[in-house]
């Protein structure tokens, strides 16, 4: 099938250079649908979500963001890597792109970014899909992953590592997936990743949820222990408009574990199925 990839580009928004990849475009039926901004997780540069964006691009004008400190967006020791700054980046990106109507699809850390952004009711935001977000926070159960897993792999990638060496960190991934992660992981600025990871235990996104008024789909993984049944119940009590779907045969990296199940879980929530 013909690729839906269009180009990669940069904008200056919220005071930094933001890099994104665009898929699909705003022609044909896509112009009648909300655009989609994909926000990856803590160590996932935009390029590693290209296979997902290809599918989204069939039906939606799709943008995949390099979160600050990752990929080709601004990085370095002088930046603010807080959740508030990351959320402001997304809103500013949508404004810089001139998006009149858009949905946010955020995975893991990206889901927390989307919730924080939605709290402020930004112009043009229509709906949210939050994919297996860390539900940790002050006084809450810790996020099950450990910081050394991220730091050790980033340091090895910074020196240069092969796909086979990456398999020690992601043993179930395909060769293609490992190759892409080995290629791009060095672009994750270690202090940014440490700050984001530590903020999983400091930021309380549950306090944001009652302020979110948009339709919301919470997608969780059957395996991995990130979002448990009681977490879903609490989430829905704080944001009663939340629909929930659990993807079978998948750990936290849902589209890597069960790609078909990931797309199916959206149903028509975004206005068209991801067929």
Structure confidence at residue 119 as a pLDDT band (50, 70, 90): very high
Structure-token pair, residue 102: 């858009």
Question: What are the residue ranges of helices labelled H in the chain?
Answer: 50-57, 83-96, 109-119, 147-159, 163-166, 175-184, 190-199, 229-238, 254-257, 259-265
Give CA–CA dist 183/165, Å, rounded: 12
**Domain membership flag for residue 253:** yes
Please check whether residue 22 is in contact with residue 62, taking contact to mean a CB–CB distance below 8 angstroms.
yes
**Domain membership flag for residue 164:** no
Question: Which residue is listed with tokens 């603010």?
Answer: 80
pTM: predicted TM-score of the whole model, two decimal places = 0.98
**Domain membership flag for residue 81:** yes
For the segment 210-234, the average pLDDT, to the nearest whole number, is 97
> What was the pLDDT predicted at 90?
98
**Domain membership flag for residue 201:** no
> What was the pLDDT predicted at 247?
98
**In which domain, by residue range, is 94 found?**
5-144+206-265
Query: Per the structure, how many domains does the chain have?
Result: 1
- What does each C-alpha distance from 134 to 182, 247, 275 come to in angstroms? 24, 16, 28
Q: What is the pLDDT of residues 127-155, one digit of tens each?
A: 999 999 999 999 999 999 999 999 999 99
> What was the pLDDT predicted at 129?
98
Question: Is a pLDDT exceeding 90 seen at residue 33?
Answer: yes
Give CA–CA dist 154/169, Å, rounded: 11
> What was the pLDDT predicted at 249?
97
**Domain membership flag for residue 176:** no
**Domain membership flag for residue 196:** no
Give CA–CA dist 114/60, Å, rounded: 18
Please check whether residue 134 is in contact with residue 108, taking contact to mean a CB–CB distance below 8 angstroms.
yes
> What was the pLDDT predicted at 28?
86
Question: Is a pLDDT exceeding 90 seen at residue 115?
Answer: yes
Bridge partners of 19?
10
Q: Give the dihedral sign, CA 64/70/74/79.
A: positive
For the segment 219-244, the average pLDDT, to the nearest whole number, is 97
**Domain membership flag for residue 156:** no
The rounded mean pLDDT for the chain is 97
Q: What is the pLDDT of residues 95-104, one digit of tens each?
A: 999 999 999 9
Q: Give the dihedral sign, CA 68/165/197/132.
A: positive
Structure-token pair, residue 149: 């897993």
Question: Is a pLDDT exceeding 90 seen at residue 1?
Answer: no
Give CA–CA dist 265/247, Å, rounded: 7
For the segment 23-38, the average pLDDT, to the nearest whole number, is 95
Q: What is the pLDDT of residues 173-203, one digit of tens each?
A: 999 999 999 999 999 999 999 999 999 999 9
Question: Which residue is listed with tokens 């179930």?
Answer: 172
CATH code assigned at 105: 3.40.50.1820
Structure confidence at residue 246 as a pLDDT band (50, 70, 90): very high
**Domain membership flag for residue 229:** yes
Question: Is a pLDDT exceeding 90 seen at residue 236?
Answer: yes
> What was the pLDDT predicted at 111?
98
């Amino acid at each position: 099938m013909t690729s839906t990839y269009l180009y990669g580009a940069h904008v200056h928004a919220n005071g930094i250079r933001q890099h994104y990849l665009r898929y699909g475009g705003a022609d044909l039926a896509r112009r009648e649908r909300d655009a989609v901004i994909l926000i990856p997780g803590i160590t996932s540069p935009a390029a590693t979500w290209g296979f997902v964006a290809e599918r989204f691009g069939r039906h939606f004008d799709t943008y995949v963001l390099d979160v600050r400190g990752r990929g080709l967006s601004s990085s370095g020791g002088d930046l603010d890597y807080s959740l508030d700054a990351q959320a402001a980046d997304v809103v500013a990106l949508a404004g810089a792109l001139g998006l009149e109507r858009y949905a946010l699809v955020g995975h893991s850390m990206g889901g927390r970014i989307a919730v924080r952004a939605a709290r402020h009711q930004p112009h043009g935001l229509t709906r949210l899909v939050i994919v297996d977000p860390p539900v940790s926070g002050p006084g809450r159960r810790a996020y099950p992953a450990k910081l050394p897993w991220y730091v050790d792999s980033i340091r090895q990638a910074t020196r240069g590592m092969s796909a086979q060496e990456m398999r020690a960190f992601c043993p179930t991934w395909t060769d293609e997936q490992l190759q892409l992660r080995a290629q791009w992981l060095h672009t994750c600025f270690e202090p940014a990743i440490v700050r984001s990871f530590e903020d999983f235990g400091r930021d309380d996104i549950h306090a944001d949820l009652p302020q979110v008024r948009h339709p919301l789909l919470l997608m969780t993984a059957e395996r991995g222990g990130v979002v448990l049944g009681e977490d879903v119940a609490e989430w829905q009590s704080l944001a009663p408009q939340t629909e929930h779907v659990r993807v079978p045969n998948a750990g936290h990296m849902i589209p890597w574990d069960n790609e078909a199940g990931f797309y199916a879980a959206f149903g028509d929530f975004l206005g068209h199925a991801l067929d």
